[in-house]
Amino acid sequence: MVGEILHAFQLKPGDTVADLTLGHGGHTEHFLRSVGPEGTVLAMDLDSEQATITLNRLKEAGLADRLLVEPGNYAGIGQAMGKHGMPALHAMLADLGISSMQIDKPERGFSYRREGPLDMRMDPLRGETARGLLNTITAEDLASGLEEFGDVPLAGPMSRAMLAAHRATPFETTTQLAEFCLNWHRGTGSNQNPGEWRLRQGKKKWETHPAARIFQALRIMVNREIANLKHLLRVAPDLLAPGGTLAILSFHSGEDRLVKSALELGLRQGKYAEISEGPIRATFEERTANPRSRSAKLRWARRPQTPVWRTEGVEI
């Protein structure tokens, strides 16, 4: 959704932009070209390995002179700006979720389609893995996470069965967990979705793999993605220059609800002058070319040229 994001930002030469989720650098590359030689792009990424690969790619393209790469979570954007002497941003993008490069590396443990360790950490050098999480989490907390972050049907019975299976024979790999999810889907717990799972094919909309929502929810819990998003939404208005724009690209209904609520509250309080009218979706052409974009929802908010602060609609 590069075109939609650039349309929301309306970047000018000399602007300062933050790409909070660098990934392969597709958005960053467009930002660098838009702000020109006088502009600056600050990019963050938890995955230091991928950040290095992307930085080298942009160096080869002759764009890295205007790029600052800061390893770490986007919740630390304020500290990163202070480190680099950036008082405010003209635009800020957070592309939530997981990058295609991470999914396509089996050793990272994000994909239910590929054999790999049950890891799922955005930062492979620190934090608890998905396997470690299953070692310690209660059935109640797991059910809550599966329901909130994955919209998983029958989350309670699924969680109890998953932890019982893990205690009997620990899940070591992604395919072991995926096979459990598929067997659960085929068993008594899947009565509301009976039948075999089928791949998406052409323009027809087939069922999602039974492991997809489980993997998504576990990844969000492992990386504390919701807590980090909440923090970003709290601090973002104070980091934007007058007229600056925040854009959030989400891929999960729970994330989108948080973003919608925060932007609407900011509008009522005068922290934002305008926000997008509902979520912006990828075009049919993009969804066809990139099926992973089919669940993407873009929302943006623009800070007033002259800040007016209110509390729940009361000017102060």
Domain termination residue (choose one: 168, 188, 222): 222
The yes-or-no verdict on residue 117 having pLDDT over 70 is yes
Q: How far apart are CA 315 and CA 293, in angstroms?
A: 39
Confidence of residue 209 (pLDDT cuts 50, 70, 90): confident
The answer to the question of residue 152 being in a domain is: yes
The answer to the question of residue 106 being in a domain is: no
**What pLDDT sits at residue 172?**
96
Domain housing 190:
124-222
Confidence of residue 252 (pLDDT cuts 50, 70, 90): confident
Confidence of residue 207 (pLDDT cuts 50, 70, 90): low
202 with 246, same domain: the answer is no
**What pLDDT sits at residue 24?**
85
User: What is the rounded average pLDDT for all residues in the chain?
Assistant: 87
Confidence of residue 307 (pLDDT cuts 50, 70, 90): low
232 with 216, same domain: the answer is no
Percent of the chain with pLDDT over 70: 91
**What pLDDT sits at residue 309?**
55
Residue owning tokens 């205690």 = 167
The answer to the question of residue 114 being in a domain is: no
pLDDT tens-digit readout, 282-293: 888 888 887 777
Confidence of residue 203 (pLDDT cuts 50, 70, 90): very low
Residue owning tokens 């939609």 = 4
26 with 84, same domain: the answer is yes
Domain termination residue (choose one: 187, 222, 257): 222
The yes-or-no verdict on residue 255 having pLDDT over 70 is yes
**What pLDDT sits at residue 97?**
77
The answer to the question of residue 118 being in a domain is: no
The answer to the question of residue 249 being in a domain is: yes
What is the number of domains present in the chain? Answer: 2
Residue type, 183: N
Domain termination residue (choose one: 206, 222, 238): 222
The answer to the question of residue 105 being in a domain is: no
Q: Which of 92-101, 221-230, 241-250, 304-313 has the lowest mean pLDDT?
A: 304-313
HEC string for 159-186: HHHHHHHHHHCCCCEHHHHHHHHHHHHH
134 with 215, same domain: the answer is yes
**What pLDDT sits at residue 288?**
80
Greater confidence (182 vs 91) lies with 91
The yes-or-no verdict on residue 267 having pLDDT over 50 is yes
The answer to the question of residue 42 being in a domain is: yes
CATH number at residue 93: 3.40.50.150
Greater confidence (183 vs 310) lies with 183
The yes-or-no verdict on residue 196 having pLDDT over 60 is no
Q: Average pLDDT in the 166-172 region?
A: 96
The yes-or-no verdict on residue 277 having pLDDT over 80 is yes
Residue 122: helix, strand or coil by DSSP? coil
Spatial CA neighbour of 238 closest among 39, 94, 92: 92
Q: Average pLDDT in the 58-70 region?
A: 90
CATH number at residue 171: 1.10.150.170
270 with 193, same domain: the answer is no
Confidence of residue 151 (pLDDT cuts 50, 70, 90): confident
Residue 155: helix, strand or coil by DSSP? helix
The yes-or-no verdict on residue 93 having pLDDT over 80 is yes
17 with 156, same domain: the answer is no
89 with 177, same domain: the answer is no
Let me know: does 66 contact 32? Beta carbons within 8 Å: yes
The answer to the question of residue 264 being in a domain is: yes
195 with 133, same domain: the answer is yes
36 with 177, same domain: the answer is no
